[in-house]
């Protein structure tokens, strides 16, 4: 087999195609000219690290909520500062 560099997107596509089970792994490996050993390494990596995607998404969601809260609080601080300045001049 020819040694090639595969992008993450290509590996992802190949592993997903294999996991769907529509094509036998032997045929899939022939189609993409990879060894079955290589396919199974990619699949195992995918299975091992796939849960991180959901963890990362949850963490990003929490960070986004916190950022929105910060913006909201800054607006409140700004409004209160304006009110205080108005009261100083009255």
Query: What is the tens place of the pLDDT at every residue in 19-63?
Result: 999 999 999 999 999 999 999 999 999 998 887 777 766 667 777
CA atoms within 13 A on the CB side of 84: 6
> What's the token pair of residue 77?
């601080």
pLDDT for 23: 92
- pLDDT above 60 for 1: no
Are residues 14 and 42 in contact, defined by beta-carbon separation less than 8 angstroms?
yes
pTM assigned to the model = 0.57
CA-based nearest residue to 12, from 64, 37, 49: 49
């Amino acid at each position: 087999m020819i040694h090639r560099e595969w992008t993450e997107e290509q590996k992802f596509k190949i592993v997903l195609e294999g996991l769907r089970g529509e094509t036998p792994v032997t045929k899939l490996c022939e189609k993409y000219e990879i060894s079955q050993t290589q396919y199974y390494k990619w699949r195992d990596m995918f299975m091992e690290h796939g849960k991180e995607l959901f963890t990362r998404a949850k963490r990003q969601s929490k960070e986004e909520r916190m950022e929105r809260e910060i913006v909201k609080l800054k607006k409140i601080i700004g409004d209160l500062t304006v009110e205080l300045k108005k009261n100083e001049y009255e």
